[in-house]
Structure 1
């Protein structure tokens, strides 16, 4: 899971604001910041709701559109593959061309258009048109996630950033959860009202789902207005150093950034493709009905909606991000092993996986903001999501082939392998950080002390003089 001015991802400086002029209408007031957070969260709602429309209706897609499992996973791989490049470009355009506000609006509009084209492909029962819709949808959706991350850093860095990332995940996963809860009943309702061809019924359902994307677009417009107003009242300005974003700066990103990116790839490749195929998996292995299978398959996202903000709050108070990442990956690996090797009630595994997933999102993504300069934030998050999409597109294709050839047991073994790699990479990141300055795994008190020590010596002396004069 960003405008108009390059300042969106640049460091932000505020003029001094007297306490007596800060009212609820002022951008620095808590109410205004909460309102901005609400808009940030809603921006991703439609994208996440529609992303897993195929997963919630997997068996219906296979039957109504006469697809094989390998063809079905194209609906996910064609979402992911183009973003290997376009996600980087999207983040760069935010930093260098569009700015955060305009970029967010453009990408939200692409999400709406992509979902409508996807629905049109179902109406004409044309796979290539459906794939085109998913491509357009993915182009907007992944870049929109970059925009969300930039907005979060812009408004909340140095305050409650981990919790804000948790809230963003929470609302996004509310979209995914609602998708798994309502798409099957909605499909059945449309089938009772409309007695025509199955593919036309599917098209109507997908078109209704596009309304959530329209809501996200409206939220992007409102947030752009609010951010423009905040920029004016708070006198935001670019860094005095005049740094300019260049794509060639990528070669200067640290090894920690690349380790974080590859952990993202291996971890999410064991989550999203699993959810995409999970409905039929739970139907076949545990004999669940389609409705029951959707409920348990969406449990990962349901837990994320409630637990991600809580874990974000805990991490904001404790720090130790790398520790939380390691525990999250380990918990997800245990959950997949339970699904692979046992017949224990799958709710145990899914509760473990959902809890771990919530923990990881709140701990891992903010690490990028710690290892990359602020003026490169859009590009950095774009690259991270581009690498993620390379993995997701490839894994989605492989899982479809594996299911058709060898069944779900081999797919689960594959997910366990990916998580083992993610666990090893997390250990390497932890060791590397320990041998360096240990900034990524500091406690919150150590982090505050480090930040205070970064104040230039003349400023420290002035602060000391001011304190002495007051005494």
Structure 2
């Protein structure tokens, strides 16, 4: 509707990531020391709402720079709101309950992504029927309607603040804190294993999220799918992730061997991209494999950080991991758009496959580094539990 090229479209994803290159370090600090959990959640929810409204206004007025600004503001609130959400969870749930809560949080996020992918096209069609024409006005109104979910999120933040304040009085409990201690000087103490985990994270997610961002048009152009069919297959990664994330989380907890699980996930993802790039096989097969692999990697990779850094450095390690992930996603999103505009989808899929290959090399290196240094990343759950009891 706005006659933008792919590079401009993917820049919208990049503008979300840019503020989080820095804010991932300070989201926990702002919640703990500046705003508090209740006020912080409301503030970040307001950023999300304002960002979405500006984004929709940019479409309505056919002003693309305004849409970029909206995405930037949305990004300021988005990732920090996730930190606030996790802080509430840690404040209210403990132990095994917490594992379930985090699994449900991830599942709900994936359900939201799936609904968005499949219903926004339908809303756009209804608005188009109502107005009788396509164009920036139709797109802008559709995005405004989508912004209702952001207002619902803000309402939930207000209700949650009231409930938490009430519980504080009744139960004499303190406000939740992230517990994060951010010290940039800790970076110099990071081990080679941790840096390899960072490389795996950046290279892997660079081949997943930007691909999903461009996937709908890919399926329409290569496989002649309708818009609705393309949206459905593009969302299957999140549909699978919603129920499978808690299942894989439990499986990895029970069996251990995290590096092996990560290796399986990366190899499966590489196979998926190769199938999409070089074959005309039914793409449902490749996308289902990608959904399973994506779910498995998240459950096996992120907990490994806690195995290789001391507890007092966890906040810095996770903050740095999220920061470079957002930096990588921002750069790759722009690069993917430029490659697609100049070279086409085959080159783009080769590019994504190359990113996964880099991730695969890092996993293999991590396996040997862990083995040579006597690390515990590939221990079985039984061995880890036994040694923890002895300690």
Common fold: TM-score over 0.5: yes
Structure 1 match to 2:82: 145
The worse-fitting range, judged by mean Cα deviation, of 373-382 and 82-91 is 373-382
> What SS is found at the alignment partner of 1:125?
coil
Q: 2:205 aligns with which of 268, 271, 279?
A: 268
Structure 2 match to 1:296: 233
Q: 1:428 aligns with which of 365, 386, 390?
A: 365
* CA distance in 1 between partners of 2:75 and 2:161 (Å): 22
| Maintained 8 Å contact 1:161/1:366 | no
Q: 1:131 aligns with which of 68, 77, 81?
A: 68
Could you tell me which runs of 5 or more consecutive residues in structure 1 were left unpaired when the two chains were aligned: 1-63, 455-471
* 1:431-451 deviation per Cα after TM superposition (whole angstroms, max 9, x unaligned): 223333433322222222233
* CA distance in 2 between partners of 1:138 and 1:429 (Å): 32
| Maintained 8 Å contact 1:79/1:134 | yes
Q: 1:380 aligns with which of 313, 317, 330?
A: 317
Could you tell me which runs of 5 or more consecutive residues in structure 2 were left unpaired when the two chains were aligned: none
* CA distance in 2 between partners of 1:237 and 1:186 (Å): 40
* CA distance in 2 between partners of 1:187 and 1:261 (Å): 39
> What SS is found at the alignment partner of 1:82?
helix
- 1:366 and 1:219, CA in 2 relative to 1: closer, same or farther beyond 3 A? farther
Q: CA deviation at 1:247?
A: 3.3
1:430-445 residue pairs with structure 2 within 5 A?
430-445=367-382
* 1:6-41 deviation per Cα after TM superposition (whole angstroms, max 9, x unaligned): xxxxxxxxxxxxxxxxxxxxxxxxxxxxxxxxxxxx
The reply to whether residue 81 of structure 1 matches residue 81 of structure 2 is no
* CA distance in 1 between partners of 2:176 and 2:122 (Å): 50
> What SS is found at the alignment partner of 1:315?
helix
* 1:313-338 deviation per Cα after TM superposition (whole angstroms, max 9, x unaligned): 21222222222111111111110011
Q: CA deviation at 1:149?
A: 4.5
The reply to whether residue 69 of structure 1 matches residue 6 of structure 2 is yes
CA RMSD of aligned residues (A): 2.8
Q: CA deviation at 1:382?
A: 2.6
The TM-score normalised by the length of structure 1 is: 0.75
Structure 2 match to 1:280: 217
Q: 1:389 aligns with which of 326, 333, 348?
A: 326
* CA distance in 2 between partners of 1:187 and 1:169 (Å): 27
* CA distance in 2 between partners of 1:318 and 1:145 (Å): 28
The reply to whether residue 347 of structure 1 matches residue 347 of structure 2 is no
Structure 2 match to 1:121: 58
| Maintained 8 Å contact 1:163/1:316 | no
Determine which structure has more spread, i.e. the larger CA radius of gyration: 1
- 1:202 and 1:366, CA in 2 relative to 1: closer, same or farther beyond 3 A? same
Q: 1:178 aligns with which of 115, 128, 132?
A: 115
> What SS is found at the alignment partner of 1:109?
helix
> What SS is found at the alignment partner of 1:249?
helix
The worse-fitting range, judged by mean Cα deviation, of 290-299 and 80-89 is 80-89
